[in-house]
Chain A
Amino acid sequence: MEQQKYAHLEKELSPKTPLLKNIVRAFLTGGLICLIGQFIALFYITYFDFTERTASNPTVATMIFISMLLTGFGLYKKISQFGGAGAAVPITGFGNAVVSSAIEHKSEGYVLGVGGNMFKLAGSVILFGVFSAFVVALIKTILVKFGVVSW
Chain B
Amino acid sequence: MKRINLLLIVLILLAGCSELGTKVENNTDYQKEQLEKILKADDHVKLAVALIHEKEIIAGIRVNTFSRFQKKKIAADLKKKIEKAYPDLNVTVSADSKVLLETEKLMDKKEKDQYGKKIKEIKSIVKEQT
Using a CB–CB cutoff of 8 Å, the interface residues on chain A facing chain B are: 45-46, 49-54, 57, 149-151
Contact = CB atoms under 8 A, between A and B. Distances in A.
Contact of B98 (A50, A57, A149, A151): A50
A57 B130 CA distance: 9
Interface of B: 69-70, 72-73, 76, 96-99, 101, 121, 125-126, 128, 130
Q: Please classify the interface of chain B as helix (H, G, I), strand (E, B), loop, or mixed, using the class held by over half of its residues.
A: helix
Contact of A150 (B73, B98, B99, B101): B73
Contacts of A51: 96, 98-99, 125-126, 128
A51 B125 CA distance: 7
A149 B101 contact: no
Given A54-B130, A57-B130, A49 B70 contact: no
Given A150-B72, A150-B73, 14 more contacts: A45-B97, A45-B98, A46-B101, A49-B121, A51-B98, A51-B125, A51-B126, A52-B96, A52-B98, A53-B96, A54-B130, A57-B130, A149-B69, A150-B69
Nearest to B76: A150
